[in-house]
């Protein structure tokens, strides 16, 4: 059973609902019911009230009470599982209230009826129930509607079914999923503008018919206290699954993000699919879709020639990282643009989740100028994104790069190794780093993120691209200075900064020199720079070696905060530097000294296996868990070995 951060399994949904209301002053609970209402109910007098709801577990959807017994694992059926909407969408310009049920279970008729009575007594000019197409929701909201009508209330119901998964939907019809959030927004904007109940029902019904959604997941989800609803192999993904953990319509191998988006859009728009969404292709854009900072009238731009205009929702199903969500969003925009579809608006985030499911859904709503205006209308609902009004496009003009200062001088003839030798050495360094990429990643996993190999591989690729663009300088100072610029700009991570500091200081020490002792001096200068105080920081008031007073306990002691013995790349560098001091002896053999330096660096890297980390990310890990050598120290030894070779 998967771990969950809950107080009790039985009360987790009630606790979540209470937390939501406690943190949002614009929301109120209806006494005795799992109903969340707007704080300003008197403001709806004379306007249409909008109610929705369903089961919990779709946060920012609302929470209810978890069922006492684990549910029967869902199958490939559809139309039978209850659904939920969000108290996060309650507010001026969206919903008047929501009714929360159990996790993945419909709310009781009594709670739905209580919500209807509350808004009717507040003076609502008609009440619209927005219900996703699941049997439990239709039954419970429908029964409450009949009872409210018998009491004299003017109540209507719109059932939303936007799922494009099934090629031949059964008697239950298409499931209602994330597209329902757009219906909330359209209905809320209409109601806030004073539209009648008939007008709201007419426009919302039309909008719901011009909408489609499809989900894709890398993992199942699990109701608190229960096992996952289905299993996926490490290399599998599920297409067309529902939002309650029910399996989808197709299981396939994991695809790259762009291919996954193409697969989803092809399925959603396939004419042989009875639940498809018809999109009229147009001419792909060749220029900007909108000028910079357009005036308000141009926010609604004409569609591409013969192409559909849509609102796109890229929805996190719960467990997808923001990084992956952004990649999927960019792929969706590119794919739609390539078909000539104009994306009038794009919403990216968590709008309707399935607990911790690592997946995404795409929703497309065909829109005209009026619908886009309703999507743009203001709302106080906390879960609705505060996005600028304007189309989504990959054709947006980039900010020009700042002008660089005049370049540094290139080769000085007669100084340092020849360019061909420099290229051979650098190529060996690059190939070595690429060869040990997986090894460095594996070593780094013990300290946390496991990306040391990727970072050094990025450096190797950057150096190769730099060498292919121009011959590297042969003069040592200029060579190291240029390499520092490349790594500082493209390597990233703490390693990129530290290598940049080292090379910059070493280059200054080598300026105008190429004798053997100069390389020993350069090594020392680079190491000293990596340990130097931050300019302008409080610590810069205290010379190296002087203890920092206790009133400044949090000031970092060095750029990298490390010293020899702290289990970092400095251990290998300092060991190599000691060996290189032999270059200051007249007549020293350069290759023999370098071989000794490599041996010392390799031994120091291996010795970090037995050290307790005193700096870097590894310092947060218990020493008993650090059983491998430090990856940064291993990388330094490998670079020196490549230079020797």
Kindly write down the DSSP assignment for every residue of 297-314, as one continuous string. GGGSPPPPTT--EEEEEE
Catalytic status, residue 76: no
Catalytic residue among 33, 58, 78, 244: 244
Average per-residue pLDDT for the chain: 83
The number of residues making up the chain comes to 645
Least confident of 284-293, 381-390, 439-448: 284-293
Residue 551: predicted pLDDT: 45
**406 falls within a domain:** no
pLDDT at 366 over 90: yes
| pLDDT average, residue stretch 8-29 | 85
pLDDT in tens, 154-174: 999 999 999 999 888 778 889
Least confident of 1-10, 227-236, 278-287, 509-518: 278-287
pLDDT at 92 over 90: yes
**312 falls within a domain:** yes
Closest alpha carbon to 563 in 576, 549, 548, 573: 573
Least confident of 17-26, 112-121, 616-625: 616-625
| pLDDT average, residue stretch 179-200 | 97
Residue 621: predicted pLDDT: 43
pLDDT band at 556; cut points 50, 70, 90: very low
For residues 313 and 445, state if they share a domain: no
CA distance 645 to 640: 9
Q: Structure tokens of 17? A: 């609902």
For residues 160 and 269, state if they share a domain: yes
**73 falls within a domain:** no
For residues 362 and 429, state if they share a domain: no
Q: Please state, as a whole number, how many other Cβ atoms lie within 10 Å of the Cβ of residue 539.
A: 19
CA distances from 628 to 495, 614, 615 (A): 19, 15, 16
For residues 348 and 425, state if they share a domain: no
| CATH code of 157's domain | 3.40.50.10440
CA distance 352 to 160: 14
Q: What is the domain range of residue 61?
A: 11-67+86-282+307-376
Four-CA torsion 548, 549, 554, 556, nearest 10 degrees: -10
Residue 561: predicted pLDDT: 58
Find tokens 């039978």 and name the residue: 80
pLDDT at 295 over 50: no
Question: Dihedral of CA 278/281/284/287: which sign?
Answer: negative
pLDDT band at 447; cut points 50, 70, 90: low
Percent of the chain with pLDDT over 90: 57
pLDDT at 602 over 90: yes
Q: Are strands 49-56 and 27-29 parallel, antiparallel or unpaired?
A: unpaired
CA distance 636 to 615: 17
Identify the residue with better confidence: 624 or 237. 237
pLDDT band at 357; cut points 50, 70, 90: confident
Residue 58: predicted pLDDT: 62
CA distances from 116 to 43, 66, 557 (A): 16, 24, 64
Least confident of 67-71, 111-115, 259-263, 586-590: 67-71
Percent of the chain with pLDDT over 70: 82
Q: Are strands 342-349 and 250-253 parallel, antiparallel or unpaired?
A: unpaired
Residue 544: predicted pLDDT: 43
For residues 51 and 137, state if they share a domain: yes
| pLDDT average, residue stretch 335-361 | 93
CA distance 48 to 97: 12
Q: Please state, as a whole number, how many other Cβ atoms lie within 10 Å of the Cβ of residue 151.
A: 11
For residues 312 and 426, state if they share a domain: no
For residues 354 and 493, state if they share a domain: no
pTM above 0.75, yes or no: yes
pLDDT in tens, 22-36: 999 999 999 989 899
**290 falls within a domain:** no
pLDDT at 78 over 60: no
Picking from 345, 376, 407, the residue at the C-terminal end of a domain is 376
- 8 A C-beta contact, residue 428 and residue 645: yes
CA distance 278 to 308: 9
pLDDT band at 406; cut points 50, 70, 90: low
For residues 367 and 516, state if they share a domain: no
pLDDT at 529 over 50: yes
Residue 55: predicted pLDDT: 77
pLDDT band at 17; cut points 50, 70, 90: confident
Closest alpha carbon to 116 in 146, 73, 82, 76: 146
**203 falls within a domain:** yes
What totals of helices (H) and strands (E) does the chain contain, helices first?
A: 17, 12
pLDDT in tens, 418-433: 788 899 999 999 999 9
pLDDT at 616 over 70: no
Residue 339: predicted pLDDT: 94
Residue 613: predicted pLDDT: 56
| pLDDT average, residue stretch 175-194 | 96
pLDDT band at 463; cut points 50, 70, 90: very high
Residue 512: predicted pLDDT: 87
Helices 516-530, 569-580: axis angle to 10 degrees equals: 150
Picking from 352, 376, 400, the residue at the C-terminal end of a domain is 376
| CATH code of 562's domain | 1.25.40.340
pLDDT band at 303; cut points 50, 70, 90: very low
CA distances from 111 to 10, 115, 120, 287 (A): 19, 6, 14, 53
For residues 360 and 437, state if they share a domain: no
For residues 234 and 324, state if they share a domain: yes
For residues 372 and 436, state if they share a domain: no
pLDDT band at 232; cut points 50, 70, 90: confident
| pLDDT average, residue stretch 306-334 | 93
pLDDT at 581 over 80: yes
pLDDT band at 153; cut points 50, 70, 90: very high
Which of 70-74, 402-406, 464-468 has maximum average pLDDT? 464-468
**600 falls within a domain:** yes
For residues 505 and 426, state if they share a domain: yes
Q: Which residues contact 591 (CB under 8 A, 6 or more apart)?
A: 644
Picking from 376, 395, 429, the residue at the C-terminal end of a domain is 376
**547 falls within a domain:** no
Closest alpha carbon to 439 in 617, 640, 641, 635: 635
How many folded domains does the chain comprise? 2
| pLDDT average, residue stretch 191-213 | 97
pLDDT in tens, 252-278: 999 999 999 999 999 999 999 989 999
Closest alpha carbon to 626 in 638, 611, 616: 611
**427 falls within a domain:** yes
């Amino acid at each position: 059973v998967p771990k969950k951060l809950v107080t009790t399994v039985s009360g987790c949904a009630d606790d979540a609902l209470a937390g939501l209301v406690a943190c949002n002053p614009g929301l109120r609970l209806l006494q005795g019911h799992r109903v969340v209402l707007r704080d300003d109910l008197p403001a709806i007098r004379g306007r249409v009230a909008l109610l929705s709801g369903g089961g919990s577990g779709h946060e920012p959807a609302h929470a209810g009470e978890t069922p006492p017994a684990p549910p029967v694992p869902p199958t490939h059926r559809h139309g039978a599982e209850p659904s939920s909407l969000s108290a996060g969408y309650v507010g001026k310009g969206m919903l008047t209230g929501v009714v929360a049920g159990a996790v993945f279970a419909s709310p009781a008729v009594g709670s739905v009826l209580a919500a209807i009575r509350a808004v009717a007594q507040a003076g609502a000019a008609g009440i619209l129930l927005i219900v996703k197409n699941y049997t439990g929701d239709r039954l419970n909201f429908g029964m409450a509607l009949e009872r409210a009508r018998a009491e004299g209330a003017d109540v209507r119901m719109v059932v939303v079914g936007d799922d494009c998964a099934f090629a031949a939907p059964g008697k239950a019809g298409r499931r209602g999923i994330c597209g329902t959030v757009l219906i909330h927004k359209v209905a809320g904007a209409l109601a806030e503008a004073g539209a009648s109940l008939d007008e709201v029902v007419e426009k919302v019904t039309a909008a719901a018919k011009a909408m489609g959604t499809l989900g894709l997941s890398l993992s199942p989800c699990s109701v608190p206290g229960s096992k996952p609803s289905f299993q996926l192999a490490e290399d599998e993904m599920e297409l067309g699954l529902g939002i309650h953990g029910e399996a989808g319509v197709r299981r396939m191998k994991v695809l790259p993000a762009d291919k996954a988006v193409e697969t989803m859009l092809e399925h959603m728009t396939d004419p042989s699919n009875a639940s498809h969404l018809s999109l009229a292709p147009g001419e792909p854009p060749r220029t900007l879709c909108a000028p910079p900072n357009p005036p308000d009238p141009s926010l609604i731009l004409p569609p591409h020639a013969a192409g559909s205009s849509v609102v796109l929702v890229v929805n996190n199903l719960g467990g997808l990282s923001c990084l992956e969500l952004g990649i999927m969003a960019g792929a969706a925009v590119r794919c739609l643009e390539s078909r000539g579809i104009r994306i009038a608006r794009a919403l990216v985030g968590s709008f309707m989740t399935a607990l911790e499911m690592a997946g995404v859904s795409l929703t497309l709503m065909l829109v005209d100028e009026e619908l886009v205006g309703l999507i743009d209308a203001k709302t106080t609902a906390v879960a609705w994104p505060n996005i600028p009004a304007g189309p989504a496009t990959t054709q947006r003009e980039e900010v020009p790069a700042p002008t660089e200062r005049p370049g540094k001088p290139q080769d000085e003839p007669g100084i340092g190794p020849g360019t061909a030798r420099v290229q051979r050495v650098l190529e060996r360094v690059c190939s070595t780093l690429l060869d040990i990429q997986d090894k460095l990643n594996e070593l780094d996993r013990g300290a946390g993120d496991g990306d040391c190999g990727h970072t050094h591989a990025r450096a190797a690729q950057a150096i190769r691209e730099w060498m292919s663009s121009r011959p590297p300088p042969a003069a040592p100072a200029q060579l190291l200075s240029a390499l520092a610029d490349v790594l500082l700009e493209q390597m990233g991570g703490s390693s990129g900064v530290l290598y940049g500091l080292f090379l910059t200081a070493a280059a200054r020490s080598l300026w105008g020199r190429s004798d053997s002792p100069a390389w020993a001096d350069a090594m020392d200068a680079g190491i000293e720079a990596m340990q130097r105080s931050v300019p302008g920081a409080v610590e810069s008031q205290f010379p190296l070696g002087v203890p920092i007073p206790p009133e400044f306990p949090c000031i970092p002691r060095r750029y990298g905060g490390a010293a020899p013995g702290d289990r970092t790349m400095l251990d290998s560098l300092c060991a190599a530097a000691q060996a290189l001091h032999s270059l200051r002896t007249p007549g020293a053999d350069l290759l023999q000294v370098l071989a000794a330096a490599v041996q010392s660096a390799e031994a120091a890297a291996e010795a970090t296996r037995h050290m307790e980390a005193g700096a870097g990310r590894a310092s947060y890990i218990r020493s008993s868990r650090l059983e491998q050598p430090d990856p940064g120290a291993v990388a330094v030894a490998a670079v020196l070995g490549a230079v020797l070779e």
